[in-house]
Amino acid sequence: MRTTLVTAACAAALVACSRREPAPADLSGPLVGETHAVRLGALPDDAAIVFTSMRWRDDPHRFVNWELYARDLAGAHVARLTFDGQSHQHAAVAPDHRHVATNRMPKEPWNDLELWVLDLAAQTETRFVPTFASAGNGGVDWGPDGWLYFAARPTKHASFDIFRARLDGSAIEQLTRSPEDDYDVGVSEDGTRIAWVRVQGRTPFFRKTEIWVANADGSSPVRVYDGGPKYGRNGGFPLGGYDPEFSPDGHSVVFSHVNEGFDNFGMGAQDLWIGAADGSGSHPVHPPTGALRMIPDWEYDLLLFTEFSQFDQYVGLATMRPDGSDVRRLDTGLRDPWDGGRHGKFVPPLDPAWPHSP
C-alpha cells in the first residue's frame, strides 16, 4: 500500500512540475523550403473525402507506405493523388481544391513527420517549417483566410504546440505554449476557433488526453473534456479523447474517446463523442460497439470516421449521423481489409476566391 501511495504521489508531482510555461519557440528559421516538381493526381470534381490507403500495393500481405487518395461518398470515383513512396498520415484539401496540406514521413515504421503543401495544378510540392524536428502531428487543417494549422515541435526536446502558417509563406505564429504535448488540431468552418488535444502526464503509462478549444489565435482557451478520471493506457493510446473537429455551426466538437473494454488489432477501442465547444458537457454519440472508431470529421449532417473492427475484419472509412444513426461503411468489396481508407477528411466546397482577407 505504501509503494502505491508513493508512486501516485511521485506521478502527481511530475504532472504538477510539468505545468511551467516554456519559452516561445524560435521561429527565426525558414518558413518554407524549396519547391520541387512532383507527379500528382487530379482531384475529382465530385471529390468529397481525402484519405490515405495502402491499396496501391501489389502484394496484399505486404505493409507499405500510405499514399493519398480522394473519392466521392458513393465510391464511384476514387483517384490516387500521390505517387512519391512517402507514408502520408493526414491530409486537408484547401477550399480552392488546388492546394493539399499533408503530414508524411519518408518511410515506415513511424518516425518524425514532415509538413508539405502540394499544388495539384502546378504539380509541385513545398515543405513547410523544414528545420522543425517534427510537424503536422495528428493532422492539419486550413482556415478560410489562408492560414494552415498544425502541431509541431521545433526541436527534439521541445513539447508539441499548435502553430499556424500562411499559405504564401509570409508569416508563422505559435498559438499554444504548453509544457504538455498539443496535437490533433481542427479549425471551425468560419475560421474563428481551433480545437486540439492536450496530453497530461509525462510517463508512458500515466497519461490521459484532454480536448481544448480556443480562438483562432490561441486566446481564451476552454477545456471541453478533461479526459476522464483515470490516467492510463489502452492498446496504442493513453486514455481520454482524440482528434476534435467542429460541427458546421461551431457550437460543438466531435472527438473519439478511448474505451478500455475492448481491443482491435492491439490498438484498443474508441467510441465517438460530442462535446459542447463552451465546455458545458460531453456525451457519447452511440453505444459502445467494441470497434476502434477514430479520427472523425463533421460536415453538414454527417460524421466521417475511420473504423477498425477485428470482430468482422473491417478496416476503412465509415459515416453516421450526429445522433448515431444511419451507420454506413464505405470501403466494402476490397481485395483485402487493410486496403481500406484511413484518416479521412471531408473536402470543403469549392471556393475559387480562397483565401479570403481576414
Region of 316 please: left (phi>0), alpha (psi -120 to 50) or beta.
left
Q: For residue range 237-249, what is the model confidence (pLDDT) as tens digits?
A: 899 999 999 999 9
At 205 the three-state DSSP class reads coil
The pLDDT, as a whole number, for residue 187 is 98
Q: How much of the chain, in percent, has pLDDT values that exceed 90? A: 75
Secondary structure element (H or E) that encloses residue 245, with its range: strand 237-246
* Residue 277 pLDDT grade (very low, low, confident, very high; cuts 50, 70, 90): very high
Please name the residues in contact with 222: beta carbons below 8 A apart, sequence gap of 6 or more. 212, 213, 214, 277, 278, 279
The C-alpha torsion from 277 through 281 and 283 to 285, rounded to 10°, is: -20
More confident residue, 134 or 16: 134
* Residue 7 pLDDT grade (very low, low, confident, very high; cuts 50, 70, 90): very low
What Cα–Cα distance (Å) separates residue 226 from each residue in 168, 182, 347?
A: 36, 14, 30
Query: How far apart, in whole angstroms, are the C-alpha atoms of residue 300 and residue 70?
Result: 19
Q: Is 20's pLDDT higher than 80?
A: no
Cα angle value 297/301/307 (rounded, 5°): 40
Q: Is 3's pLDDT higher than 50?
A: no
**DSSP character at residue 27:** -
Average pLDDT over residues 165-184: 94
What Cα–Cα distance (Å) separates residue 162 from each residue in 146, 177, 314, 322?
A: 16, 8, 33, 27
Q: Is 298's pLDDT higher than 80?
A: yes
Query: How far apart, in whole angstroms, are the C-alpha atoms of residue 37 and residue 121?
Result: 11
Q: For residue range 305-327, what is the model confidence (pLDDT) as tens digits?
A: 999 999 999 999 999 999 999 99
Q: Is 108's pLDDT higher than 80?
A: no
Mean pLDDT of the chain: 90
Average pLDDT over residues 32-54: 96
* Residue 62 pLDDT grade (very low, low, confident, very high; cuts 50, 70, 90): confident
What Cα–Cα distance (Å) separates residue 6 from each residue in 17, 302, 327?
A: 16, 48, 47
Please name the residues in contact with 184: beta carbons below 8 A apart, sequence gap of 6 or more. 138, 139, 151, 196, 197, 242, 243, 244
* Residue 13 pLDDT grade (very low, low, confident, very high; cuts 50, 70, 90): very low
Q: For residue range 190-248, what is the model confidence (pLDDT) as tens digits?
A: 999 999 999 998 676 688 999 999 999 999 999 999 999 989 988 888 999 999 999 99
Enumerate the domain spans of the chain. Answer: 30-346
Task: Of 231, 236, 244, give the one whose Cα is nearest residue 282.
Answer: 244
Average pLDDT over residues 1-29: 55
**DSSP character at residue 6:** H
Cα angle value 7/11/13 (rounded, 5°): 115
**What is the C-alpha end-to-end distance of the chain, expressed in Å?**
58
Q: Is 355's pLDDT higher than 90?
A: yes
Instruction: Find the radius of gyration of the CA atoms of the chain.
Output: 20
Average pLDDT over residues 118-129: 97
Domain 30-346 has CATH 2.120.10.30: yes
Task: Of 330, 244, 292, 239, give the one whose Cα is nearest residue 49.
Answer: 330
Please name the residues in contact with 325: beta carbons below 8 A apart, sequence gap of 6 or more. none
* Residue 15 pLDDT grade (very low, low, confident, very high; cuts 50, 70, 90): very low
* Residue 260 pLDDT grade (very low, low, confident, very high; cuts 50, 70, 90): very high
Q: Is 333's pLDDT higher than 90?
A: no
Q: Is 111's pLDDT higher than 80?
A: no
Q: How much of the chain, in percent, has pLDDT values that exceed 70? A: 92
Sign for the CA dihedral angle at 181, 254, 294, 134 comes to: negative
Judge contact between 88 and 52, C-beta under 8 A.
yes
The pLDDT, as a whole number, for residue 12 is 40
The pLDDT, as a whole number, for residue 107 is 66
Task: Of 286, 271, 338, give the one whose Cα is nearest residue 310.
Answer: 338
Query: How far apart, in whole angstroms, are the C-alpha atoms of residue 130 and residue 120?
Result: 21
